[in-house]
Structure 1
Amino acid sequence: MDTNAESRLHRKEAREVARESLVLLKNRLENVTAEKNRPPLRWLGHWRTVNRDVMGSWSAAGVADHP
């Protein structure tokens, strides 16, 4: 059974929705500090530590620790 078949069918639409809903924040006043060895993009707030919750109702077939 291919558990990824449904996701392949909607991948293009999912990427389009993600692009349209992406919010970029610019630190113009330098009031947000960043560590030098950290990636420039990151999850903020509650979602930074609960990977499984981000997957929502699809968590049964998902892998929370996937990069």
Structure 2
Amino acid sequence: AKSAYLATFHGSTHCQAWRLTWKCWAAPRVRFFHWLANLDRCWTADRLARRNLPHPPCCPLCDQAPETH
């Protein structure tokens, strides 16, 4: 089982980007938000619109442009 599991990753590259998120001095909620943003999982208006959920038409901060990452 171990050799089959390791064979699935043969030829793949390793990325140490997780260290930027989880091994930094930032507060846990900031690290969690960074993790969600990195995975494109933030519930911004453009993502809500893709799922046909209610969303504001403009960014709540600037009230001019559509809200995105």
Q: What is the TM-score normalised by the length of structure 1?
A: 0.26
Q: What is the TM-score normalised by the length of structure 2?
A: 0.26
